[in-house]
Structure formats: structure tokens, C-alpha cells
Chain A
Amino acid sequence: MSPVETTLLPRLLAGEETAFRELIETYAGRMMVVARRILRSEQDAEDAVQDAFLSALRSLESFEGKSSLGTWLHRVATNAALMKLRARPRGREVELGDLLPEYKSGGHHVDPPKHWEDLPEDPLCRQELTDLVRVKIDELPENYRIALILRDIEGLSTAEVSIQLELTVGAAKVRIHRARQALRALLDPHLGKSNR
């Protein structure tokens, strides 16, 4: 446990108001990041973070220090955001259609994949690219977007993603793989070199 945690935890457990305030000020930022990413609405993200802190406080005694407080709160915030997402009217499950690769009868690519250059080193170009990727992730159909975010950004295992999305592990694995392929297709016009 970090020094912050060793001093903060006992005070939280004793119900000290200033300790709770410190907890919020320290961790709200990173919890907002994940909630925003999942919900794409500032208001909903704030609601989710509020839910997360209250639920964290209720289960504080069950926090065993196996992970850091930050990691644990990140998890709690992810759960709270997903719970909010599930409460929204469910959109149609959209299929990826054109975004998945197509094959000829003999199994070759219909469109030969382009070669992608190395990524730019320059921090400015890098930032532009990061922004582009975020925009493209947001273009994915919701069911694929969430699977990709949970696995590749928030770092959940495939099994954990399957629990969150109420899928079998096999179905979650396929969904994550397809989401990556679809994102690849969305980035291809920007990163692929047209003629080799």
C-alpha cells in the first residue's frame, strides 16, 4: 500500500469526513476518465462517479488491499458506468458489415491490406493520432465499442469482459477481435500507404 493509502484508510474506516473528501479529490479525476469514456456524457459520468464513491464507501471494509486503492476505485467506477449504460434504452445490436475483412472463395483478401508505416515519434503528431483514434473508437457500434474499451483500454481480461457484457467467454473474445478489426479498417485510410 502507498503511504497515502496507509494513512487514508484507517481515517476512512473511522468515518472521518475530511478523509472522504481527500479520497474524492485524489481519485475523482481518473474515475471520471473511465466513466466519460464509457458513457460519453459529462453528466452521466458525474452521476456514475458519485454512485461509485458511495458504493466504494459502503464496501470499504471489504477492500483488502490486494490491489491499490486507485485500481480498486477504477474497477468500482467502471462497474458504476456500465450499470448506467445498461439502464439506458438499449440500442439495436449493430453488426460491423463493411468494417470486417472480406475474402475470396479461396480465402485470399478481397482488398489486399495496405502496409502501415511506423508511428510518428513527434509528440504533436502523436497527440493528433491519439485524438483520431479516440474519434474512430467512438464511431464503432456500441456493443463493439464497449468490448474494445474494456479489454484494450481499461485492461480487463476477456473473462472479465464476458461477465460485464453478459456473454460467454468465446463470444466476448470474438467481439473484441472483431472490434479491433473494425477499428483497424476505420484507421486504414489514415495510416495505410496506398501503393507499395
Chain B
Amino acid sequence: MNCDELKSCAYNYFESQLSEEARAAFEAHSEECADCGPFVAICREITCEKLTEFLDDYVDDHLPAERKAVFERHLAICDECVAYVRSYRITRSLTEAQSGDLPPYKIPADLLGAILAARKKA
């Protein structure tokens, strides 16, 4: 197995979908290769599922530095999570934008009257 082959079958390796033979070749290469060893170590650090679970803290920058570094190492190798984080951020900013401009409002006379009357009674 070479470096390109390892990277292209990493997904199946972690989803336990490689043959025993391919699995062994994957592990053998990752142990002896100075590039692939660290890559596989990063893949082992955190799954997409775990990353998503703590995404709110990441986006709010509430993660401790060490944890944040784990997140960023994962994002550097995972396009799926990059896309997810981006859409999560956009969703949030679109929600926040709902509080935007105030539509003009003139209080209906009967509501104003009702409040003033209720105040007198109180």
C-alpha cells in the first residue's frame, strides 16, 4: 500500500469495511510511513460524530486549547465536517439576523386603551 492508497481507503478502514488483508496492509503502512502515521493518529483522535456533539462549544470558542487543537486537526483532514461546521455557523447567523430591523408598529387604539384602563384599575 502506498500513501495515496492509504488515504483513499482510510474512510473504509475506520468504518471497518476493509478486507483483513487490506486492513493489515493499511496498518503496516501507517506504522512505517512518516506521513501516514500522523494522519492516521489524527483520524483516531476524534470522530465526526463526537466533533458534531461539541460543535456549539467550538463555534463559541469555549473549548479548552487542547480540545480545540484536536478539532482543528480533524477539520484539516475532513471536508465533511468543514461543510457541516460552515452550515452550522451560517444557520446560526441567519437565526440571529431574525432580530434585525423592527417593522414599524403603531399600537392599536383599543389595546392602548385597554392597557391604560387596566392600569387605572390596578
Contacts and interface: CB of A to CB of B under 8 A. Distances in A.
Q: Judge: A and B partners, yes or no.
A: yes
B70 interface: no
Contact of B102 (A17, A33, A50): A33
A130 B98 contact: yes
B95 A183 contact: yes
Contacts of A53: 115, 119
Nearest to B16: A106
Interface residues of A, number: 53
Interface in B90-122: 90-92, 94-100, 102-108, 111-112, 114-116, 118-119, 122
B16 to A, nearest CB: 6
B5 interface: no
A interface, over-half SS: helix
The range of chain B's interface size is 35 or more
Nearest to A133: B94
A40 interface: no
Given A24-B115, A54-B119, A155-B99, A105 B16 contact: yes
A181 B95 contact: no
Nearest to B60: A158
Interface of B: 11, 14-16, 47-50, 52, 55-56, 80-81, 83-84, 86-88, 90-92, 94-100, 102-108, 111-112, 114-116, 118-119, 122
